[in-house]
Amino acid sequence: MSERHALSDVTGTVPLDDAAAVADAIDGILSRSYGTGQFDRALLRSSFAFVERLFAGGHPGYLACDMPYHDLRHSLDAALAMARLVDGYRQEGRAAAAALTPDLGLVAVLLALLHDTGFLRTAAEASLRGPELAAAHESRSAAFAADYLRSTALAPHAHLASMILATRVATAPGPLLAGRDDTVLAIGRMLGSADLLCQMADRRYLERCYHHLYPELVIGGGDRCLAADGRQKILFRDARDLVAHTPGFYANVARPRLEKDFGNVARHLAAHFGGVDPYARSTRDNIERCATIVGDNRWDLLDGPPVTTTRELDPRYRAEASSSSHH
């Protein structure tokens, strides 16, 4: 598989290592959905350029992204999925869809773009690694996104940044979404859905879990937890164990969140694509491929490390992934 193919979205048409190209694709989606000139196209483009600089270490007071899984590629992927959800929702939402104004559609996309900025370290946090911020990253991302929106013409909607907390997989989103009006509820549900969908449908999802996510979990302490008796409990013995948990994660965590907690807003993707939803199809393919690799012990079918948009990885990422392969 070529690098260009590996770094394209689920449709194979949008390069996820190019923020301007993703902004172009989203501009096209929102222009078709709302009409050209109905939303702030300049802000859309400047926001993507800003986030590209931010992840590269070009924003004052912030260090470059140091993570291979929660990289710029993932944030661009989530924003693209969000734009497609917004369009599908508007096609299928009937009366409720009218309340998702062009400004709110753009806000939804920008929140998806900014949803993992909490993993980025400030200059004062140089002694830390990004994964060590995992426990607080959603609330940090929401605060960062609110500050960013307040600096733009979308400032009246900055309070919606709290919907980024819907992406916190460890927490049921019910309390966050309870009592919200239909439009805010839709944005929260789409945010939580876009984050899950773009990951699980990624063409290199299993490789990204094995080579990229597992080392992040180890460095951030997410591969273990404290049991009720106070002793440390290992959640994933190694990278293979993490991959082996993929079907269970989908069945017990991702799917219930998508279908119940988020009201199955993912169904709107079929409307956007005019038929078959490639995210659902690719996710099924990944689950089936995982079953073959794990069930038949065919780890030779797992490819090498995927390309990441993070330029300078801590050597520990390679060390963790390679050591886990010897178990």
What is the residue-level pLDDT of the chain in tens, covering all 327 positions? Answer: 444 456 899 999 999 999 999 999 999 999 999 999 999 999 999 999 999 999 999 999 999 999 999 999 999 999 999 999 999 999 987 777 889 999 999 999 999 999 999 999 999 999 999 999 999 999 999 999 999 999 999 999 999 999 999 999 999 999 999 999 999 999 999 999 999 999 999 999 999 999 999 999 999 888 878 788 888 888 889 999 999 999 999 999 999 999 999 999 999 999 999 999 999 999 999 999 999 999 999 999 999 999 999 987 877 776 555 555 444
For residue 226, what are the β-bridge partners?
Answer: 232
Alpha-carbon distance 283 to 147, whole Å? 34
Q: Does residue 1 lie in a domain region?
A: no
The closest alpha carbon to 109, from 143, 79, 89, belongs to 79
For residue 313, what is the domain's CATH number? 1.10.1300
Burial class (CB in 10 A: 0-12, 13-18, 19+), 227: exposed
Q: How many domains does the chain have?
A: 1
- The single-letter DSSP state of residue 202 is -
Is 266 within a domain?
A: yes
- Give a yes or no: residue 170 inside a domain: yes
Tell whether 83 is covered by a domain.
yes
Give the three-state DSSP class for 232: strand
Q: How far apart are CA 54 and CA 69, in angstroms?
A: 16
In a domain, 36, yes or no: yes
Exposure of 91 by Cβ count < 10 A (0-12 exposed, 13-18 middle, 19+ buried)? Answer: middle
Determine the structural domain holding residue 54 and report its residue range: 7-324
Residue 228 lies in a domain: yes
Give domain status of residue 249, yes or no: yes
Other Cβ atoms closer than 10 A to 314: 17
SS3 59: coil
Distances (CA, A) of 265 to 6, 84, 159, 257, 273: 27, 11, 22, 11, 14
